[in-house]
Structure formats: structure tokens, C-alpha cells
Amino acid sequence: MDAKVVNASIAYVEALKRSMDDGGTAPQQGTDAGSGFADILRDTISGTTAAVKGAETVSIQAAAQQANITDVVTAVSNAEMALESVVAVRDRVVQAYQDILRMPI
């Protein structure tokens, strides 16, 4: 479980760096921080989807004997790690939401 949290944290930091490299700025306190997080989350999910599609494409090429098995294993491993990172972030968000719901008013 701890490795998934670390992977999710790394994915979050990399997505934040990508958004900063694209000319974006980090959300300042008191600004609309939700849209910044939403953009990062959307980019991360898009990247994960692209990794899964890429792994599927390489797998199909391998079935047609057009790709090396090493390429297939690498693509599938990358897609699996990206998906595990997204799932770890989702689990943490759900846990935080449940913690908020349990707070006394």
C-alpha cells in the first residue's frame, strides 16, 4: 500500500511539473485551487489512458509478430504503474471525503 502512495505522489508531482512547463502557474492560496487540481487530474488520467492504449497497440502488434516481446512487457508495465497511481490517488480522495463526512459539526 505504501508503494502505491509513493507512486501516486510521484505521478502527482510529475503532472504538476508538466503543467508548470506548459506555461501554467501553481495555484496561489486564496485563488481557485480546484481548477488547478482538476487540470492536473485530467492530464494524469489522459496520460494513463494513453499508456493503456499504447500497451494494447503494442500487444496487438506482438500478436501479429510485428513487435518484440520486450516492448510488450515494458508497455504493459508502464500502463500498469500509471493505472495503479491513478487508483491510489482515487483511494486517497475517497478516504479524505469519508473523513470529512465523519467530522462532527
88: Cβ contacts below 8 Å, ≥ 6 apart:
4, 5, 7, 8
In a domain, 28, yes or no: no
Domain that includes residue 82, residue range: 2-20+34-102
Q: Which residue has the cell 502527482?
A: 12
Is the Cβ–Cβ distance between 17 and 97 less than 8 Å? no
**pLDDT tens digits, one per residue of 16-60:** 666 666 555 554 544 555 568 788 888 888 888 888 999 999 999
The answer to which of 7-11, 32-36, 59-63, 89-93 has the lowest mean pLDDT is 32-36
pLDDT category of residue 99 using cuts at 50, 70 and 90 = very high
Residue 27 lies in a domain: no
Q: Which residues contact 59 (CB under 8 A, 6 or more apart)?
A: 72, 75, 76
Q: What span, in angstroms and rounded, lies between the C-alpha atoms of 60 and 76?
A: 12
Mean pLDDT of 78-95: 90
